[in-house]
Chains A and B, each alone.
Chain A
Amino acid sequence: MQQIGIEDHPRRRDPAPSRWAFRFQRLWLTPLFRTTLRVGVPILTVAFFAGWYFSEAANREALRDKIAEIRASVAERPEFQVKLMAIDGASEELSADIREVLPVDFPISSFDLDLEQMRAVVEQLDAIGAAKLRIRPGGILQIDVTERVPAVVWRLGRAIELLDATGRRVAAISRRSQRLDLPLVVGEGADAAVAEALRLVAAAVPIEDRLRGLVRVGARRWDLVLDREQRILLPENGAVEALEQMIALDQAKDLLARDLVAVDMRNARRPTLRMAPPAVEELRRIKALEIGESD
């Protein structure tokens, strides 16, 4: 006969933790160990599996495709479509140039437009001083352009170009007569000194009708060229002051009306005149007469 009830009182489990359980609990209460296990191990695990997953090229490709797909699905929404380009503040010609340098196939997503880069491209056009690009509501790429204002005509060899006040090239023209309203500058390095040239032109208002142009000599100093092949040689520094002095002389003594080839103002304290050969002859004759008379 089987005895009943022998399992009714199983041995009570020892409530004391085993040595290893005790040690493990203490280890678990160690802050460093705990942090390592709670933070370090999950991070390591995730990093390991991610690394393992991406170590295969196909997976990387799939992820890249997926990302591209999601991005495209957002970018191709009609809200982000840019349909046309509007250019304000530019002439017909310049607008055409801008459209040429910005080859954008409309409609395009605004995500695909790099406005900063486009602005840099547009601003590389010589005729453009500054450009502002933005995407207007309604899917319009708005380009606000400030054109460069040509200040002088620069002739170098056979090329004739328009420069703005800072010396930047604006456009090329075929003939000087196209822009007779602008002063002419000639010579190498003239573009670097356009500001001074403009000041000289402003100072030369009293002899404006005689002014033909300015010549940059040795990329260093200016010569003022007047009609009748007259030249005013200006110093490197203080050219405007020298010119004002010259004009004062002219107004006092009507100097430029005389038969002079050049006035050398390079030394401000000693203006030098070069006369035309007939005038020299004449002067010599007069001197000789004077001498003869005195003899």
Chain B
Amino acid sequence: MTDLYQTQRAMRNMRLAAMQRGVVAILDIGTSKIACLVLRFDGAEAYREPDGIGSLAGQSAFRVIGAATTRSRGVRFGEIDAMQETERAVRTAVQAAQKMANVRVDHVIACFSGAEPRSYGLAGEIELQDSTVSEHDVARVLASCEVPDFGEGREVLHAQPVNFALDHRASLADPRGQIGNRLACDMHLLTIDADAIENLLYCIKRCDMELAGIASSAYASGISSLVEDEQELGAACIDMGGGSTGLSIFIRKHMIYADSVRLGGDHVTQDISKGLQVSLNVAERIKTFYGGVVATGMDDREMIELGGDTGDWEHDRRTVSRSELIGIMRPRVEEILEEVRARLDGAGFEHLPSQQIVLTGGASQIPGLDGLAPKILGNNVRIGRPLRVQGLPQAATGAAFASCVGLSLFAAHPQDEWWDFEMPMDRYPARSLKRALKWFKDNW
């Protein structure tokens, strides 16, 4: 795990370097679109110590100076499937964003939704050497967490301390400087497929840029779509993307669970395509223009021209009523939501004090979803849109850009992760310690 520790630390350093330079790109690699934002860090926060949450909830620290979206290529279920194609799409998005920003960007913070994220809750406990908790003690308690065997080919994406307990006092946000004997911590560990990260790294590298951080898009959407009290009291954010639906559960401003369902808006499109015998492009257009999940009497009479260019008049003149379209879409949306419900149940969401669920992402814009979702997910459901950040173009303020915006906020105010603390001595590989001892013996 030292390896990962080094990689993540290197990424963190790169992010700091990027902040120093003032420009960083945000890349959201989705199944249906790839979005790129260029952020400039020159707000008031750049010149003063972070003190509390900062002005405008910390958003004044950065400004979006470039934004571009392109149709995604070579991505399936939120994972890179065809490297060359994805690379081209990334280049398109980055080039357009750079052109708008009129600045060259070298550092990229990326997020993606797939790669089967799995959450683990870790707990660790140590006796304090000193009665006061120091940074070193925090590092020790984080290192003392028993890491589960998450299997071969998995990589840790997030390892965030979510809770500290000192003696009998639990739920401390920051135990440093406090007095006690036993320090315990809970850590949330999110692992994903190592191949996905490798592919992403390689892809970014092929675009002549450096990866300065990665995040799960479910996490990023949660940051941007959940309002502060929802994050505090406990809520789930469901990011309904194209190829996969991510869900993240927040409580006390920390993510405690993330998962993804490998179903999304693209499957709805496929259903329409198959059900109506039209091409995917036409199906997508029909879905966005006429789609819905709750049929009314009016919809029987609204006929949709399917079009086509086969030359067969009968085929090209087909029409379908909107209620038929809804009849195709609704089961799939229900299936997605039921799958999400199952994941939430599996995560024990019903035990949280607040049952708020926020739907966001491109597929959450289906008309009538706010009527359908409460039937499956419970009463406290709302459709969320991301926070508004400075300089974001109007076209990029929709729900589909929740993870982009969240990633921007994440870049401005990163959550403390395990690798932000110095690794305690005893976790260093024994060999290097032995070598140091040998050097002393040889030379003294």
Listed in ascending order, the chain A residues whose CB lies under 8 Å from chain B are 14-17, 19, 21-23, 25-26, 29-31
Tell me if B89 is interfacial: C-beta within 8 Å of chain A.
Answer: yes
Q: How far is the CA of A216 from the CA of B104 in the complex (A)?
A: 89
When C-beta atoms are compared, the residue in chain A nearest to B209 turns out to be A26
Shortest distance from the beta carbon of B342 to any chain A beta carbon, whole Å: 38
B89, A16: Cβ atoms closer than 8 Å: yes
Q: How far is the CA of A14 from the CA of B103 in the complex (A)?
A: 24
Tell me if B15 is interfacial: C-beta within 8 Å of chain A.
Answer: no
A-B contact pairs, 15 of them (CB 8 A): A15-B70, A16-B73, A16-B89, A16-B91, A17-B95, A19-B91, A19-B206, A21-B95, A22-B95, A23-B208, A25-B95, A26-B208, A29-B98, A29-B102, A29-B103
With A22-B91, A25-B99 already in contact, 7 other A-B pairs whose C-beta atoms are closer than 8 Å: A15-B70, A16-B91, A16-B92, A17-B91, A17-B95, A21-B95, A29-B102
Given known A-B contacts A14-B88, A16-B89, A22-B207, A30 and B95 have beta carbons under 8 A apart: no
Q: Among B88, B89, B98, B102, which residue has its beta carbon within 8 angstroms of that of A26? A: B98
Q: For B92, list chain A residues within 8 Å (CB).
A: 15-17
Q: For A31, list chain B residues within 8 Å (CB).
A: 104
B208, A30: Cβ atoms closer than 8 Å: no
When C-beta atoms are compared, the residue in chain A nearest to B206 turns out to be A19
Q: Which of chain B's residues 83-99 have a Cβ closer than 8 Å to chain A?
A: 88-89, 91-92, 94-95, 98-99
Q: Bin the interface of chain B by size.
A: 10 to 19
When C-beta atoms are compared, the residue in chain B nearest to A28 turns out to be B104
Q: For A17, list chain B residues within 8 Å (CB).
A: 91-92, 95
Q: How far is the CA of A23 from the CA of B208 in the complex (A)?
A: 8
When C-beta atoms are compared, the residue in chain B nearest to A23 turns out to be B208
Shortest distance from the beta carbon of B29 to any chain A beta carbon, whole Å: 14
Q: For B91, list chain A residues within 8 Å (CB).
A: 16-17, 19, 22
Listed residue (A15, A19, A21, A26) with the most chain B CB atoms within 10 angstroms of its CB: A26
When C-beta atoms are compared, the residue in chain A nearest to B89 turns out to be A16
Q: How far is the CA of A168 from the CA of B158 in the complex (A)?
A: 98
Q: For B103, list chain A residues within 8 Å (CB).
A: 29
Q: For A23, list chain B residues within 8 Å (CB).
A: 208
Q: For B70, list chain A residues within 8 Å (CB).
A: 15-16
When C-beta atoms are compared, the residue in chain B nearest to A33 turns out to be B104
Q: How far is the CA of A17 from the CA of B103 in the complex (A)?
A: 17
Q: For B89, list chain A residues within 8 Å (CB).
A: 16
Beta-carbon contacts of B186-230 to A below 8 Å, as 1s and 0s?
A: 000000000000000000001110000000000000000000000
Q: How far is the CA of A31 from the CA of B73 in the complex (A)?
A: 31
Q: For B208, list chain A residues within 8 Å (CB).
A: 22-23, 26
B104, A29: Cβ atoms closer than 8 Å: yes
Q: For B95, list chain A residues within 8 Å (CB).
A: 17, 21-22, 25
Shortest distance from the beta carbon of B203 to any chain A beta carbon, whole Å: 12
Q: For A30, list chain B residues within 8 Å (CB).
A: 104
Shortest distance from the beta carbon of B295 to any chain A beta carbon, whole Å: 36
Shortest distance from the beta carbon of B8 to any chain A beta carbon, whole Å: 26
Q: For B88, list chain A residues within 8 Å (CB).
A: 14, 16
Q: For B206, list chain A residues within 8 Å (CB).
A: 19
Q: How far is the CA of A14 from the CA of B99 in the complex (A)?
A: 18
Q: How far is the CA of A31 from the CA of B98 in the complex (A)?
A: 13
When C-beta atoms are compared, the residue in chain A nearest to B103 turns out to be A29
Q: Which of chain B's residues 141-174 have a Cβ closer than 8 Å to chain A?
A: none
Q: For A26, list chain B residues within 8 Å (CB).
A: 98, 104, 208
Q: For B207, list chain A residues within 8 Å (CB).
A: 22
Shortest distance from the beta carbon of B97 to any chain A beta carbon, whole Å: 11
When C-beta atoms are compared, the residue in chain B nearest to A15 turns out to be B92
Q: For A22, list chain B residues within 8 Å (CB).
A: 91, 94-95, 207-208
Q: How far is the CA of A29 from the CA of B25 in the complex (A)?
A: 14
Q: How far is the CA of A15 from the CA of B34 in the complex (A)?
A: 14
Q: For B73, list chain A residues within 8 Å (CB).
A: 16
The 9 nearest A-B residue pairs measured at CB? A16-B88, A29-B104, A16-B92, A22-B91, A17-B95, A26-B104, A30-B104, A17-B91, A16-B91
Shortest distance from the beta carbon of A140 to any chain B beta carbon, whole Å: 64
Shortest distance from the beta carbon of B87 to any chain A beta carbon, whole Å: 8
Shortest distance from the beta carbon of A150 to any chain B beta carbon, whole Å: 79
Q: How far is the CA of A21 from the CA of B92 in the complex (A)?
A: 10
Q: How far is the CA of A22 from the CA of B70 in the complex (A)?
A: 15
